[in-house]
Amino acid sequence: MVRIKHLLTKLLIATAFAAAFPLDAAAKTTPQQRMHNRLLLAKARAKQPASPPVIRGSHAAKAALRAQNRAALKRHPEWFTFPRRGDTPHLRDGTGRLANDWLHTVTERVIERLQAQLGKPYVWGGETPEEGFDCSGLVYYAFNPLLAAKLPRTANEMYHYPQARRVADGSLRRGDLLFFAVHTRDKADHMGVYLGDGRFIESPRTGKHIRISSLTDAFWQAHYMGGRRILLNGTVR
């Protein structure tokens, strides 16, 4: 008898619980509830408007635009050739060419580094302000911190450096490298950096100091090999 009363009591409790909690809330298991939530989330997302595409148009139009972009990049590889540290150059007129003021800024930084060494002694193999400089060591010191790829160390290696552009005698500009064959006929064994107005800065030879010289002097004209431009859109940082 006691056992039957106990069973009746449990049945009454279960009936009261079912009445208090509807089936859709109480009878669902945890996996079922998660599935139900996923369905609700999917329905909510389906009602959200789709974001507009970056490129509008048909498949053919998009393909044509991509082909045009690839052709433009092939013509102007310098657009994405190098990362820059610090200053960010600005583009001009949507052409993809770097603004002239960016290269001007880099050139003036190089010239400042060079001119800060005026009066320091020529030291064969030197490439720091503390020890002094030889001719190529001075250029190596002044240019490399602002270039994406380092210049080689010697004057003749810089003369043949593939990333440096040949410059016609009448087209020299501030920051161009000048090369001379002083002791040989066909090998660059001396160099300097053009400052403009026919002047260049150099570290001449043992016993001398870093100075500004004139390219129009007969001695330099007799040994001049040519100019190279290394400050270009695709070479500076």
Q: Which residues are catalytic?
A: 135, 190, 202
- Name the E strands within 25-144: 127-128, 132-133
Largest CA distance in the chain: 132
Separation between Cα atoms, residue 105 and residue 90, nearest integer Å: 12
Sign for the CA dihedral angle at 171, 76, 98, 175 comes to negative
Cα 149–Cα 151–Cα 155 angle in degrees, nearest 5: 170
Instruction: Report the distance separating Cα 104 and Cα 77, nearest Å.
Output: 21
